[in-house]
Structure 1
Amino acid sequence: MAYDFQVTVDCTEPHTLADWWAETLGWTVEPQDEAFIKDMVAKGYATDDETTHHNGKLVWRTGAAILHPENGRRLLFQFDEAAKTVKNRWHVDVRVGAENRDAERDKLLARGATFLWEASQGPHSWFTMADPEGNEFCVS
């Protein structure tokens, strides 16, 4: 039996990182229902401390998700007060094609990514980079 899944990234700024990755991957930020959030607070199921404002909208403080535009796959960015301190045990590979790799690296650098190193194996090569919170990913 196959299971559906989502990938979850712990981070200190989930809404900001969701925006960054949505733009990087061409995905969309999953909307949050302000009326529902206000209703949950009004009914005592949540507190104002569990909410915040991002881009002028009321959102849950603890997380933001992005969605693949065609298949609905989801990446969740979940609040964790501890900043990243060690290397990822696994990471995302952004495959743009060898002819687009340099230009994509430069666009990502301009948007706050960090270049870490270039590597290759046989005829394949890639850049290892880090997103604005230091999570490693590769561009190939």
Structure 2
Amino acid sequence: MACRISELVLDCAEPERLAEFWSKVLGYIELAREDDGSIEIGPPDAGFGGPQPTLVLSPSDAPRTGKLRLHIDVNATDRDQDSELERLLALGAHPVDIGQDGMENWHVLADPEGNEFCLLHRRLPPLGPSAP
């Protein structure tokens, strides 16, 4: 038997702001709110325990120091990489330089709180009832 990633937890200063951003990026909806201010978002048709992990935005006022040791990679599902890059930038992502040489086929971005993530080149089929 093996484990499966069921949720990713991201400490952040403004859970509401990041929940809104990541919901738009991933097509997720709000699933739950906790008394501590945490917000869980996930796929609308599956929620927790589905084929994709949920994302928990957990409030923290501890400052981030250094590069994240884990980051999220995303792939477009319904458009090419250039169009998806434009969409992510319009949502509030911004490019970051972590030492790329310019020859990469991915883009390194940061969410509104500066958490790095990558937009990969390959387009993936969507998951869910509409997937082929």
Is the TM-score greater than 0.5?
A: yes
Select 1:130's aligned residue among 104, 110, 122.
Answer: 110
Distance 2:10 2:38 in 1: 10
Aligned pair count?
109
Unaligned residue ranges in structure 1 (runs of 5+): 33-58
The CA RMSD over aligned residues, in Å, is 2.1
Distance 2:64 2:88 in 1: 20
In structure 2, relative to structure 1, the CA distance for the partners of 1:63 and 1:132 (3 Å cut) is: same
Deviation (angstroms), 1:16:
1.4
Rg (Cα) greater in structure: 1
Percent of matched pairs sharing the same residue: 36
8 Å Cα contact 1:119-1:127 kept in structure 2: no
Distance 2:103 2:44 in 1: 30
TM-score (norm 1): 0.68
Unaligned residue ranges in structure 2 (runs of 5+): 48-52, 121-132
Aligned to 2:8: 7
Distance 2:42 2:62 in 1: 25
Distance 1:60 1:18 in 2: 16
Deviation (angstroms), 1:15:
1.6
Amino acid in the other structure paired with 2:30: V
SS of the residue 2:84 aligns to:
helix
| Higher helix fraction (1 or 2) | 1
TM-score (norm 2): 0.71
8 Å Cα contact 1:84-1:133 kept in structure 2: no
| Higher strand fraction (1 or 2) | 1
